[in-house]
């Protein structure tokens, strides 16, 4: 009996260790230590995002990019310092077009004024991302809090871990699986591209001018009429780094299902968008979403966002609560 009981104690301990980081996140984590924290975040978002609604897309992208590198620990916010000697995630190619760092800093400043050293930058990113989408008319999702901030940020890790716009289906599947996300999550989280914008280069101009590394080649999986329009009106050269293109033309300010309809018309902007219809599994998920209601999409998207927000989180005594989001505590 002792051996049997001891065996189950060991199993429970292992399971507890596996789930501890997720278990330590909880809704209203700051209810006693900083009861106004989430209200402060929400009020600031409601005051400023309606005046700059395009920030909602970049803030949810920041959350995504943060979680895919060392987990949701605000490592994306850290600046280079001579003491660390590391070029941080901020300067990595995938993050060079991420905006909103100053927005996060201002929210952090307000929260710090209310409760110094209590609320993490990682939680602020997660809350701001959610509230920004909601205030622009998109879906609500639960944000359990209690994340702590990481103390390491390396640019090469961002390049390695963040899914690239030129990824094929197999690369996407592997990238998401490495973070505990499945193919349904891949389809649903890609749905945030409905409010996305992209730069011609390095985002997708290779599909127009240099597909497969052959100059003059156009990606045959991209609708030819759409490609011709992009060349004529948007990305007139392969190296255009300034022109911005809507990922869901005509509907990019509305969090809806039209992104998926464009995929079926072979008008996904990135190769990674087009890749979603190359698998029978993800294509089936897309068709299911399109046959369902917008509310159903919102509910499913919410579940995947909450799941993403739990990736490799630091809780308890791991990490720290940064005083300033761009720097580790001295």
E runs forming strands in the chain: 197-199, 244-246
Asked if residue 123 belongs to a known ligand binding site, the reply is no
Q: What is the pLDDT of residue 105?
A: 98
Asked if residue 193 belongs to a known ligand binding site, the reply is yes
Phi, psi (5° rounding) for residue 168? Answer: -90, 180
Each residue's pLDDT tens digit, 138-170: 999 999 999 999 999 999 999 999 999 999 999
- What stretch of H or E contains 106? helix 101-114
| Cα torsion 191, 194, 200, 202: sign | negative
Q: What is the DSSP string of 197-250?
A: EEEHHHHTHHHHH-GGG-TT---TTS-HHHHHHHHHHT--STT--S-EEESSTT
Q: What is the pLDDT of residue 86?
A: 80
Asked if residue 135 belongs to a known ligand binding site, the reply is no
Asked if residue 199 belongs to a known ligand binding site, the reply is no
Asked if residue 89 belongs to a known ligand binding site, the reply is yes
Q: What is the pLDDT of residue 84?
A: 65
Domain spanning 36-160: CATH 3.30.260.10: no
| Catalytic residue positions, numbered | 65
Q: What is the CATH number of domain 163-309?
A: 1.10.420.10
Q: What is the pLDDT of residue 240?
A: 94
Q: What is the pLDDT of residue 283?
A: 98
Asked if residue 66 belongs to a known ligand binding site, the reply is yes
* 107 preceded by a cis bond (ω within 30 of 0): no
Q: What is the pLDDT of residue 288?
A: 98
- pLDDT in 10s for each residue of the chain, 330 residues: 444 444 444 444 444 444 444 448 999 999 999 999 999 999 999 999 999 999 999 999 999 999 999 999 999 999 987 766 789 999 999 999 999 999 999 999 999 999 999 999 999 999 999 999 999 999 999 999 999 999 999 999 999 999 999 999 999 999 999 999 999 999 999 999 999 999 999 899 999 999 988 888 999 999 999 999 999 999 999 999 999 999 999 898 999 999 999 999 999 999 999 999 999 999 999 999 999 999 999 999 999 999 999 999 999 999 999 999 999 998
Q: What is the pLDDT of residue 24?
A: 86
> Where are the chain's structural domains?
36-160, 163-309
């Amino acid at each position: 009996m002792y051996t049997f009981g001891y065996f189950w104690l060991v199993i429970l301990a292992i399971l507890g260790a596996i789930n501890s980081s997720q278990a330590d996140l909880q809704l209203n984590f700051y209810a006693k230590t900083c009861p106004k924290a989430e209200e402060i975040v929400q009020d600031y978002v409601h005051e400023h995002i309606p005046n700059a609604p395009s920030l909602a897309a970049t803030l949810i992208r920041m959350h995504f990019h943060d979680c895919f590198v060392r987990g949701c620990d605000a490592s994306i916010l850290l600046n280079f310092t001579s003491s660390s000697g590391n070029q941080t995630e901020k300067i990595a190619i995938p993050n060079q077009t991420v905006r909103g760092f100053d927005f996060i800093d201002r929210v952090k400043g307000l929260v710090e004024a209310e409760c110094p050293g209590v609320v993490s930058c990682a939680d602020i990113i997660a809350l701001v991302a959610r509230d920004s989408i909601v205030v622009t008319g998109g879906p609500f999702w639960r944000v359990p809090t209690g994340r702590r901030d990481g103390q390491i940020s390396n640019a090469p890790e961002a390049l390695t871990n963040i899914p690239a716009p030129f990824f094929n289906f197999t690369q996407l599947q592997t990238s998401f699986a490495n973070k505990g996300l499945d193919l349904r999550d891949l389809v649903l989280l890609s749905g945030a591209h409905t409010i996305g914008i992209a730069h011609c280069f390095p985002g997708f101009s290779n599909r127009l001018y240099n597909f497969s590394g052959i100059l003059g080649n156009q990606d045959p999986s991209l609708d030819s009429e759409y490609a011709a329009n992009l060349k004529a009106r948007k990305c007139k050269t392969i190296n255009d780094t300034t022109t911005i293109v809507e990922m869901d033309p005509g509907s990019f300010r509305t969090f809806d299902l039209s992104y998926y309809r464009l995929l079926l018309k072979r008008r996904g902007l990135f190769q990674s968008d087009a890749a979603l219809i190359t698998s029978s599994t993800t294509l089936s998920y897309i068709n299911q979403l399109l046959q369902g209601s917008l509310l159903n999409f919102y509910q499913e998207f919410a579940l995947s966002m909450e799941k993403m927000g739990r990736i490799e989180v630091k809780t308890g005594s791991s990490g720290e609560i940064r005083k300033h989001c761009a720097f580790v505590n001295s």
